[in-house]
Amino acid sequence: MDNLTKHIQNLQQISSKDVIELDCLLQEFPYYQTAQLLITKGLLNTDSIRYNRQLKKAAAYAIDRKQLFKLIILKKAEKTTISEISKNTEDSLAMGQPLAFNNKEEYSFSEWLAVSKVEKIDRTPKPNTKQLIDNFIGKKISISKPKKTDFFKPINVAKESLIENESIVTPTLAKVYLEQGYYDKAISAYTKLCLKYPEKNSLFANQIKLINKLKEK
């Protein structure tokens, strides 16, 4: 418990050794949200290849995902600059590297949760078969009329058009789409980044070229 308190007070200091200790704790208590958050931060601190996978796990166990988002954006701001993310793009797309969100990328984080299909862990105890049967018998069965569904739903169109808003398109969002295999969305995001950051046009254009090669495999 003392170690956990120390980690909470010194999030940037969580090391590889601390990650090993947290791993042992989570093997016994996987639902311990604080430990899930701390190990995620530790893996981010050490640029571990396990980070992206653990981030999904932490998001699944997290009761409050805003708390998780606040934790992971504590990484130094330099990690999310265009020059850092686009570094060495001529040689590789650098897939598998830790996703680096910053405090202005709540949409990117939400979109990552969506495309990664990260669902929260159900913590409620499951009823046994007898309970299910008793509950079914005790309910009054009623037949409701099917709800009228509209072919065109403005709210859905609004959600789909979010990507058209250049202000929410970031290098991290493009990387999210790339990592999850949404290559067309990644290309669309990088295309918008070319317009948003004309000084980095050649770097993002090269990303698009590499993704197109990846699609051909």
- For 10-40, how does the pLDDT look when each residue is reduced to its tens digit (9 = 90+)? 888 899 999 999 999 999 998 898 899 999 9
Question: pLDDT tens digits, residue range 52-98?
Answer: 999 999 999 888 888 889 888 875 444 444 344 334 433 467 787 88
Distance CA 116, CA 124 (A): 23
pLDDT score at 82: 37
Question: pLDDT tens digits, residue range 161-216?
Answer: 444 566 789 999 999 999 888 999 999 999 999 988 989 988 899 899 999 888 88
CB-facing half-sphere around the CA of 181: CA atoms within 13 A: 3
Helices of type H across 10-161: 16-28, 33-45, 51-61, 65-72, 82-85, 106-115, 129-138, 154-160
pLDDT score at 129: 56
Judge whether residue 139 has pLDDT over 90. no
Q: Which residue's entry shows tokens 């954006």?
A: 73
**pTM: predicted TM-score of the whole model, two decimal places:** 0.59
Q: For the residues 146-166, what does the mean pLDDT come to? A: 49
Distance CA 13, CA 205 (A): 37
CB 176 within 8 A of CB 111: yes
Distance CA 87, CA 113 (A): 25
pLDDT score at 150: 47
Print the SS3 string covering 50-87. CHHHHHHHHHHHCCCHHHHHHHHCCCCHHHHCHHHHCC
Q: For the residues 42-61, what does the mean pLDDT come to? A: 91
CB 40 within 8 A of CB 68: yes
Distance CA 155, CA 161 (A): 10
pLDDT score at 134: 59
